[in-house]
Amino acid sequence: MNDVVMTSSKSWNFTMLILGLLGLSATCAFGQLIITSSVGGETSSPHSKETDSFTFKIYWGLASKCSNLGIDLELQKWGISANKDTSVEMGDVFNGFHSHNFGYPYIDDDTRKFINGGLPQARNLRKHLEIATVEIIEKIPNSQFNGLAIIDWEKWKPHLDENFDKRTIYKNASVDLVKQRIPNLDDTSVNELAKVEYEMAAESLMKGVLRLGKTLRPNATWGFYHYPYCHNKEPSTDYECLNATVASNDKMTWLFDESSAIFPSIYLHPYVKNNLQFVDSKLQEALRVVNNLQEPGKPVYVYNRFNYSNSGLYYNIGDIEMSVGKAAILSFDGIVLWGSMKALENMQSCTELKQLLATVYGPVLLNTKTQAESCSNKMCSGHGRCLLDDARFVSDALWDWRSLDFVKCRCMTGWTGNNCSKKL
């Protein structure tokens, strides 16, 4: 589907300038601005080029008060890359953008107030790109920044049918918007038009901000947090991803192809009965998605935590070893560490986390990084990631890839062959 969104034609010169940067063109018809793609295929990214040997990267993405309290978590000791100032989420290594950035349209969960138009199709594209341009330049002042730039937009999903439960309000509001404009239209046509308008606009907003980011900060790794989704909270299905969500992921290649990397989430919850199945389903879906892309060698960084979601409890040893090890065994490129900001606001919580890192989490991370890179060098010519048969994988902080069966390689972009030794 081409990029198409309709908005007012104010500030035509600015809009045309930004669209030109994004490889888009525009025409004005019947008082509406119609945006279309003027280039074919995916746009370039720092990972579309041939890169050096594989490195399993571990990023710290969470702002905490520990450093301000005089507690050094010693992140670098465990192979973790972090901003120089870990008290903020914006820095020289990691930058996160959320619902308050880029003029993101959403409906407030509590007040039901429509923010920035509330719906993607009600958002003014010119204003959206204008705000995003200013914020990217302001938040990432270094034009050569080569770290992560992650967009976390979770209020709505780009496919209307995926907006269920508390997100149902976006479906209802989209239908109401059509009814207000065309009151005599039959219900079937209203629903179809609402879906088309919503999804075309959502795609344009998400692709637009990615293309803008890659244009302004081309060395950064851009992507959306949590995609691809899985929705596998039902134990009766062995925590398999919902069929509807898998189908939605198949129709979302435009997002994955446009992203510099993919960032699935495997956050664990206290109520999950089988965390191994829960994590495996999410990661297998991410692997399936990336293997079907135009660039199957695209990097994948897995969002993980140190404490269970909506809980003050830290991961137990088994869940730390399993969640970290799984990411490496399934040929992914690294981990982004996250957690509850409230859990790191005082001396006690920071001291406890430092102890967790020093005794369990840190050694697991460092060993996983060492094993993933060693396997890549020995089995995949240093230009691929090892995809291991984990049937014999033992939850062990000091697991060794050589003890596992059947090593395959997922080659990095620019390399091919069974052991990734041939240049494309």
Catalytic residue among 42, 50, 74, 154: 154
CB neighbourhood size of 364 (10 A): 23
- Helix or strand or coil: residue 213? helix
Q: What is the DSSP letter of 303?
A: E
Does 154 participate in catalysis according to the annotation? yes
Render the burial of 141-174: b for 16+ CB within 10 Å, e for the rest. eeeebebbbbbbbebbbbbbebbeeebebbbebb
Residues with Cβ within 8 Å of 296's Cβ and at least 6 positions away in sequence, in order, are: 290, 410
CA dihedral 93, 97, 102, 104 (to 10 degrees): 160
CB neighbourhood size of 346 (10 A): 13
In three state form, how does the secondary structure of 91-127 look? CCCEEEECCCCCCCCEECCCCCCEECCCCHHHCCHHH
395 in Cβ contact with 331 (< 8 Å)? no
- Cite the active site residues: 154
